[in-house]
Amino acid sequence: MKRLGVVLHPSSHKGLIVRSQFEKGLPKINSVVVTERMEKIGEVYDVFGPVKRPYISVRLYGASRAHALKNQRVYVL
């Protein structure tokens, strides 16, 4: 389990925007994203922005928790 980053805000397309804190390399598309409690919340959908600290779009499995995840750390398996 590697730290993906901190959730900035929900996106308009049933997802989340995460500010990356990945140490080396980038997460792979379709990697499973989990919370600190190991709850699966979605998958990496897109990586965009600056090379040093990119933004990551996460497609959620259920959009009902999007606002509750704001400012929380998320991880990738």
pLDDT of residue 63: 65
pLDDT of residue 18: 94
pLDDT at 23 > cutoff 70:
no
8 Å CB contact between 30 and 19: no
pLDDT of residue 74: 94
Residues with Cβ within 8 Å of 37's Cβ and at least 6 positions away in sequence, in order, are none
The CATH superfamily holding the domain 2-76 is Probable tRNA pseudouridine synthase domain (2.40.10.230)
Specify the pTM.
Answer: 0.88
Q: How many CB atoms lie within 10 A of CB 32?
A: 15
pLDDT at 1 > cutoff 90:
no
Q: How many CB atoms lie within 10 A of CB 39?
A: 11
Q: How far apart are CA 64 and CA 62, in angstroms?
A: 6
Which carries the bigger pLDDT value, residue 26 or residue 58? 58
